[in-house]
Amino acid sequence: MTRILIVYHSQTGSTEKMAGAVAAGASSIEGMEVILKKAADASLEDLLSCDGLVIGTPENFGYMSGTVKDFFDRTFYPAEGKVFRKPYVVFISAGNDGTGALSSIERIALGFKFKKVYEPVIARMSKGGVTDEILARCRELGQTIAGGCEAGIY
């Protein structure tokens, strides 16, 4: 069974809605086990045992949430050398443009040596927030990472 881990943080519910849509998309692929965890609850074992990783965060002060950063901090050294080229994707609910949060996640992903496999989904609150279109893109994001992991192309 292929395992997709979705790690996210949400304060207002926007990122949580997006996480639910990503999980729905990933779950639509046959043979998929989807683990949806708040960043504070996600563990090293979750990271090591997944076949693909999805990171979701609100943009806080132009950065990822502190709770998502904490997940990375808690798992970085224990995971070192054990997650090489693990496929990952990102979704962000952004008060601004999301680029600060995205670049901070991408820098950390380079340190872990993860492999980015799809473009991020960014919901800009100033442009309507978590719209039906954004949720559809989140479902597609989930389907893409799950389908690629299941097919063994990532």
Q: For strands 2-8 and 32-38, give the pairing.
A: parallel
pLDDT per position as a tens digit, 13-49: 999 999 999 999 999 999 999 999 999 999 999 999 9
What is the C-alpha R_g of the chain?
Answer: 14
Mapped onto helix, strand or coil, the DSSP state of residue 123 is: strand
Q: Whole-model pTM? A: 0.97
Which residue ranges form the domains of the chain, and what is each CATH number?
Answer: 2-151 (3.40.50.360)
Chain length of the chain: 154
| Cα–Cα distance for residue pair 137/154, rounded to 1 Å | 20
Give me the residue label for tokens 């132009």: 62
pLDDT bucket at 95, cuts 50 / 70 / 90: confident
Q: How far is CA 13 from CA 58, 70, 99, 107, in A?
A: 10, 20, 20, 26
Q: What's the pLDDT at 127?
A: 82
CA torsion sign for 140, 52, 29, 21 is negative
Interval 138-154 mean pLDDT: 97
